[in-house]
A = this chain, B = another copy of it.
Amino acid sequence: MLRTTNLCKIEVINTMKKLILSLFVAGLALAASAEDGHLLWLRSQPVNKAKVITKKSSPTIQIAKEELETYYNGERVTLKLDGKMPDDDGYRIDGTTITARRDVGLLYGAYALLRMQQTSALGHQPSALLESHPTYSLRLLNHWDNPNGTVERGFAGRSIFLNPDPERMKIYARANASIGINGAVLNNVNAKPEALKTESLQKAKQIADQLRPYGIKVYLSINFASPIKVGGLTTADPLNADVIRWWKDKVNEIYKMIPDFGGFLVKANSEGEPGPQDFGRTHADGANMLGKVLKPHQGIVMWRAFVYAPQSPDRANQAYLEFMPLDGQFADNVIIQIKNGPVDFQPREPYSPLFTAMKKTPMMVEFQITQEYLGAANHLVYLAPMWKEFFSFVKPASLKAMAGVANIGDDTNWCGHHFAQSNWYAFGRLAWNPDLTSEQIAEEWLAQSFDMKAAANSQLLSVMLDSREACVNYMMPLGIHHIFAGTHHYGPEPWYAPRGVRADWTPPYYHKADSIGLGFDRTMNGSANVKQYPEALCRMYNDINTCPENLLAWFHHVPWDHRMKSGRTFWDELCHKYDDGVREARHFLTVWDSMQPYVDSQRFEEVQRKLRIQARDAEWWRDACLLYFQTFSHRPIPQDMDHPVHNLDEMMKFNIPIGMYENPAQGYTK
């Protein structure tokens, strides 16, 4: 009897042990799954310690106060407005006093103080005195979101604006404010006319109301034919009085709903979108008409220079050819928004020559944060070095603003790839201060996004810093460009050239591989694109012996046997660059695997899976491109590298059955 009782006790104890254990395991699982990336870089645990002193209150100041009271690990912070500070969004931090001219400056200062707290272990101590002012007053995300919820070149799910969730919108707004982003174009540049219908505007108003306290204005992309398609007019001629009146009325309607509406982004006469040229007018006619309509409301027009036509022998020449004659003709609230390169967001392009050519026109740069051409949400590619490369040619001060095509969707982690969050982060930080280094920004982001042991790992930092060049290496080194799959721009299809597809939408237009060599002759003997650059650059690019090797096949049809600085032939160098890329991608995986002890399990595994895809994709790129180009070069792949393990004919038959709105589950191999 006693024995039975004891056994029963043991049973009960064991059951309780199991229960406790399972609760513990569940708790662990919960803790791990809580790190799903949904908080972005704002992952601090509340400390609820600081008291914030402020005289004035406003929704924006209230947010600054709450953020500091929740997360600042000090006793007291003082927020002060100071009308004598420069009239911008800047702030000054003096110990624990934040001063600003504007309410939003106090908010930015609050986030700066919290950032310093998060990064202090890296040596970023809260300064005795820090004053910071943004280089650009306009720091904008462009969302390529469609009314049906798809996101063009979006690889992180569907549009966050389709059925905006207040909690998610708050995280979005916080994240943007924390890095100084102050504008969001809510819809795709390939704009549906419906964007201007009243019901769409009501939706935009709701979003604007949510974002406003965080200092973020909303903008809309417009379809130039809206007066016809929404207004029922017979023309959209920008000089037609009815058209102008229609736009005036529409703009009035918008401002009644959204008093601080930012303005319009316009893709006109580009890739089939309507524009003023359809009515015999110029880009300037179209842009200025809209500028005039928006002017009374302090609205602006961002008019894209992304134009090209199928008949041109060199797509890279065209924006210059269309826009240079208009230099100086644009209204003062019109900004020409120019992609960083002259073709289209390639892993490496020279800068668009318009930036140095146009002297009398306000310009802004359009970067692409979403990795349309850099491995979508599967590849870890930290883009700050690419953008910094742009700024090494184009002086930040020569631009009025900075826009970035967002990589944001309704995926839990917002960007598909946890490391893609760093590109959103880096874009914001550079739009505030383009003088920050890629390394500073990566360190900051790592310190906020991971726990310190992982964040402080110098190998992980190197992975980020090396990742863009690695991507160039395994995708299109030495100036090769646009040899992507015809539709999804994910994998390699240098052979893609189906009958009936316009030449400039096929890779052979760009790589021009033949028995002589590889690359697009843009010298004075070729398309003369070099002439669009300043004299010194023109001379340098024009000569194959002075042209930087990383742009060689951009500017030259390079003979296979051209001798490179390494002493190798161009063909051998090409092979080695591809193989370098493969080895780098594999190395990234190896480094990440060593982070396992320091990273929560969910993000560790999700990133690991992505890095495995990247390593496999790098091999796919190498094999596809080298085997295809080898059919022209007729040269052996060098012995001192790994050789292709896939077959060209099989790769040529392979197709990822997706369009431009999804992230591929994987590439050529699983």
Contact = CB atoms under 8 A, between A and B. Distances in A.
Interface string A632-653: 0000110101111111001000
A596 interface: yes
Contact of A586 (B612, B615, B643, B650): B643
Interface string A582-604: 00001001100110100000000
B612 A642 contact: no
Interface string A610-645: 001001100000000000000000001101011111
Given A636-B594, A670-B669, A616 B645 contact: yes
B593 A645 contact: no
A167 B534 CA distance: 75
A609 interface: yes
A182 to B, nearest CB: 41
Contacts of A596: 636
Q: Is the interface of A mostly helix, strand, loop or mixed?
A: loop
B636 A590 contact: no
A349 to B, nearest CB: 29
B643 A670 contact: no
A646 B586 contact: no
Contacts of A639: 590, 594
Contacts of A637: 593
Nearest to A591: B639
Interface residues of A, number: 24
A612 B645 contact: yes
Count of identical protomers in the assembly: 2
Contacts of A641: 590
A270 to B, nearest CB: 38
A639 B588 CA distance: 11
Contacts of A644: 612
A283 B228 CA distance: 95
Nearest to A620: B669
B645 A670 contact: no
A670 B646 contact: yes
B609 A643 contact: no
A670 B650 CA distance: 8
A317 B617 CA distance: 47
Identify the interface centre among A594, A636, A644, A645: most chain B CB within 10 Å of its CB: A645
Nearest to A653: B670
A589 B643 CA distance: 7
Contacts of A642: 586, 590
Contacts of A669: 669-670
A519 to B, nearest CB: 25
A627 to B, nearest CB: 10
Given A669-B669, A669-B670, A670-B669, A646 B612 contact: yes
Given A590-B641, A593-B636, 19 more contacts: A586-B642, A586-B643, A589-B643, A590-B642, A593-B637, A593-B643, A594-B636, A596-B636, A609-B647, A612-B644, A612-B645, A612-B646, A612-B647, A616-B645, A646-B670, A647-B670, A650-B670, A668-B670, A669-B669
User: A-B pairs with the 3 shortest C-beta distances?
Assistant: A669-B669, A615-B645, A612-B645
11 contacts: A586-B642, A589-B645, A590-B639, A590-B641, A590-B642, A593-B637, A594-B636, A612-B645, A612-B647, A647-B670, A668-B670
